[in-house]
């Protein structure tokens, strides 16, 4: 586990479930937000007397949010009686706190999908005694849209209450290699991919775990289809669309849905690449544009002097 993630989980486990309040995990797509949330959930599940719940439908309206909270914490609610649900949930959380001296934990992935009304309602639900007694430990996870949403005027009170933050970043080459090795070892065959192929995949993953695992899964699928015991970077495994005819292998027939999904993934990778290296791309073409090229002028004709 990376040191930053270890520190974040330690603070949630040893401080925030005792004191309550909000925490947040944020970062670009594919940088490990959901993985961090899953590791935190596994860690908290090992603790005695700690109730851990997760919101699976963050885009719910207020009525559905109450229904899901009631289902998570085993509180029978009547959707038409919001005050009754508000009171019953807070009583359940307060009883948990008095019995265990720890707050119940609520994990929300894709929190950027929550409406401002639902986030405000959750803030009011999770505290008592004029905001001096947090009843719940809430961990939000989302991309940059969550940060932008918390800057809205009605959500500033919630944003100011986030006590612990974890910013997931693009992984280094060594971190990608370590993650890929961990996945292969967990699959039961740490030597399934050659070292050279692992390095090649990590070099082309743009620091993104999701891109790395997608490319690795594609190669593993091709290897399984061809009955290979190991996956390497031979031309037969890593050829592109330009040399498939010379290799004597035809591209497979794909359904319309598969073609669109693959196209969208390639477009996503291109957008991610341009977002990270766009300035360099622009500088390259700008330096080589016709307007910026210096063209020598013809020397003056000194033989035809005006005087």
DSSP string, the chain: --HHHHHHHHHIIIIIHHH-EEEEEEESTTSSHHHHHHHHHHHHHTSTT--EEEES-TT--HHHHHHHHHHHTT----TT-HHHHHHHHHHHHHHHHHHHSS-EEEEETTGGGS-HHHHHHHHHHTEETTTTEE-EEEEEEE-HHHHHHHTSGGGHHHHTTEEEEEEE-PPPHHHHHHHHHHHHHHTT-TTSB-HHHHHHHHHTSTT-HHHHHHHHHHHHHHHHHTT-SSB---HHHH--TTSTTTTT-PPPP--HHHHHHHHHHHHHHHHHHHHHHHHHHHHHHHHTSGGGS--PPPPP-TTS---
> Is residue 59 within 8 Å of residue 113, measured between CB atoms?
yes
Whether residues 177 and 158 fall in one domain: no
Whether residues 137 and 11 fall in one domain: yes
Let me know if residue 293 belongs to a domain. no
Whether residues 148 and 64 fall in one domain: yes
Minimum mean pLDDT among 21-25, 51-55, 97-101, 250-254: which range? 250-254
Whether residues 37 and 151 fall in one domain: yes
Neighbouring-strand partners of residue 164: 23
Interatomic CA distance for residues 88 and 76, integer angstroms: 8
Whether residues 17 and 154 fall in one domain: yes
Number of compact structural domains in the chain: 3
> Is residue 114 within 8 Å of residue 59, measured between CB atoms?
yes
Q: SS3 letters for 176-214?
A: HHHHHHHHHHHCCCCCCECHHHHHHHHHCCCCCHHHHHH
Q: For residues 59 and 256, which has the higher predicted lDDT (pLDDT)?
A: 59
The whole-number pLDDT of residue 304 equals 47
Among 70-74, 250-254, 296-300, name the most confident range: 70-74
Let me know if residue 297 belongs to a domain. no
Let me know if residue 224 belongs to a domain. yes
Percent with pLDDT over 70 in the chain: 86
The whole-number pLDDT of residue 10 equals 94
Among 195-209, 232-246, 288-302, name the most confident range: 195-209
Let me know if residue 306 belongs to a domain. no
The whole-number pLDDT of residue 70 equals 92
Whether residues 179 and 162 fall in one domain: no
Whether residues 28 and 59 fall in one domain: yes
Whether residues 163 and 179 fall in one domain: no
Whether residues 281 and 208 fall in one domain: no
- What is the residue range of 208's domain? 173-238
The whole-number pLDDT of residue 261 equals 78
Whether residues 65 and 81 fall in one domain: yes
Let me know if residue 50 belongs to a domain. yes
Whether residues 177 and 153 fall in one domain: no
Strands of the 21-27 sheet, one edge to the other: 52-55, 104-108, 136-142, 21-27, 162-168
Binning pLDDT at 50, 70 and 90, where does residue 244 land?
Answer: very low
Pairing of the two strands 133-134 and 127-128: antiparallel
The whole-number pLDDT of residue 172 equals 86
Let me know if residue 251 belongs to a domain. no
Let me know if residue 133 belongs to a domain. yes
pTM: 0.68
Whether residues 131 and 263 fall in one domain: no
Interatomic CA distance for residues 123 and 131, integer angstroms: 10
Whether the pLDDT of residue 143 is over 80: the answer is yes
Whether the pLDDT of residue 121 is over 90: the answer is yes
* Residue 120 in tokens: 């405000």
Interatomic CA distance for residues 192 and 184, integer angstroms: 7
> Is residue 120 within 8 Å of residue 64, measured between CB atoms?
no
- With b for 16 or more beta-carbon neighbours within 10 A and e for fewer, the 256-278 pattern comes to eeeeeeeeeeeebbeebeeeeee
The whole-number pLDDT of residue 183 equals 86
The whole-number pLDDT of residue 243 equals 44
- Short-list 72, 77, 82, 135, CA closest to 108: 72
> Is residue 163 within 8 Å of residue 131, measured between CB atoms?
no
Let me know if residue 246 belongs to a domain. no
């Amino acid at each position: 586990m990376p040191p930053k993630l270890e520190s974040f989980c330690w603070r949630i486990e040893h401080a925030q479930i005792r004191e309550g309040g909000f925490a947040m995990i944020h970062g670009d797509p594919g940088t490990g937000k959901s993985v961090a949330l899953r590791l935190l959930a596994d860690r908290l599940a090992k603790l005695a007397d700690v109730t851990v719940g997760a919101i699976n439908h963050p885009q719910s309206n207020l009525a559905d949010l109450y229904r899901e909270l009631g289902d998570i914490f085993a509180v029978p609610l009547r959707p038409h009686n919001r005050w009754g649900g508000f009171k019953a949930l807070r009583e359940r959380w307060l009883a948990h706190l008095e019995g265990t001296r720890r707050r119940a934990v609520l994990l929300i992935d894709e929190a950027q999908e929550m409406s401002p009304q639902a986030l405000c309602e959750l803030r009011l639900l999770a505290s008592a005694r004029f905001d001096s007694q947090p009843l719940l430990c809430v961990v939000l996870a989302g991309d940059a849209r969550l940060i932008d949403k918390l800057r809205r005027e009605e959500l500033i009170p919630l944003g100011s209450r986030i006590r612990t933050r974890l910013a997931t970043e693009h992984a280094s080459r060594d971190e990608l290699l370590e993650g890929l090795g961990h996945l292969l070892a967990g699959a039961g065959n740490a030597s399934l991919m050659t070292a050279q192929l692992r390095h090649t995949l990590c070099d082309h993953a743009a620091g993104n775990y999701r891109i790395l695992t997608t490319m690795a899964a594609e190669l593993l699928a091709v290897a399984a289809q061809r009955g290979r015991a190991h996956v390497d970077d031979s031309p037969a495994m890593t050829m592109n669309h330009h040399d498939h005819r010379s290799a004597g292998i035809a591209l497979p027939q794909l359904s319309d849905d598969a073609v669109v999904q693959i196209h969208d993934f390639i477009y996503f990778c291109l957008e991610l690449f341009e977002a990270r290296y766009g300035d360099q791309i622009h500088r390259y073409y700008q330096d080589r544009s016709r307007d910026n090229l210096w063209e020598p002028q013809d020397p003056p004709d000194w033989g035809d002097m005006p005087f």
